[in-house]
Amino acid sequence: MASAATLATLFSPCGGSPTSPSGMASMLGVLSGRFTGSGVQVSVAGSALADVGGAALVESTAGVFLLARTSASAFSAVDAICSHESCTVTGADGATYVCPCHGSRYSRSGQVVAGPAKASLRQFPTAFTDGVVTIAL
């Protein structure tokens, strides 16, 4: 008969897998984006994006994005869907995005830092005006 610990390992999403996330990632704050037809608009006021270095997960009807403030007037936006097995990337460890499913790590520009993912996340152009970031689609 299997022990409770064995059963927990068998039924946990990634428990015991050699590709499980190895470091502790902080969950990103979630912001709502407004789809405009040609882009997604996000207000930065009162969010982690108000400060340089801040990042957030943006949810919209057009998709899910990882948005980071790289300078006073610049932002980077990448697809939040992991290229490994299509999990939503929801965490960050410093300036690195971390997928909660198997631990793939990406730079703020979407480049793979550590696998198992092999493909980068898609980048999107951004514009910043009057406290609102527009992610161009």
Q: Contact 40/60 with Cβ under 8 angstroms? A: yes
Q: Which residues contact 18 (CB under 8 A, 6 or more apart)?
A: none
Lowest mean pLDDT segment, chosen from 17-21, 78-82, 116-120, 121-125? 17-21
Residue 15: inside a domain, yes or no? no
Residue 64: inside a domain, yes or no? yes
Q: What is the pTM of this model?
A: 0.83
Tell me the mean pLDDT in the region 44-50.
97
Tell me the mean pLDDT in the region 1-25.
42
Tell me the mean pLDDT in the region 119-135.
98
pLDDT digits (tens, 9 = 90+) for 49-108: 999 999 999 999 999 999 999 999 999 999 999 999 999 999 999 999 999 999 999 999
Q: Which residues contact 81 (CB under 8 A, 6 or more apart)?
A: 63, 64, 87, 88, 89, 121
Question: What are the backbone dihedrals phi and psi of residue 11, each rounded to the nearest 5 degrees, phi first?
Answer: -105, 5
Q: pLDDT: is 108 or 11 the higher one?
A: 108
pLDDT band at 23 (very low <50, low <70, confident <90, very high): low
Residue 22: inside a domain, yes or no? no
The domain total for the chain is 1
Domain that holds residue 74: 27-136
Q: What is the pLDDT of residue 4?
A: 40
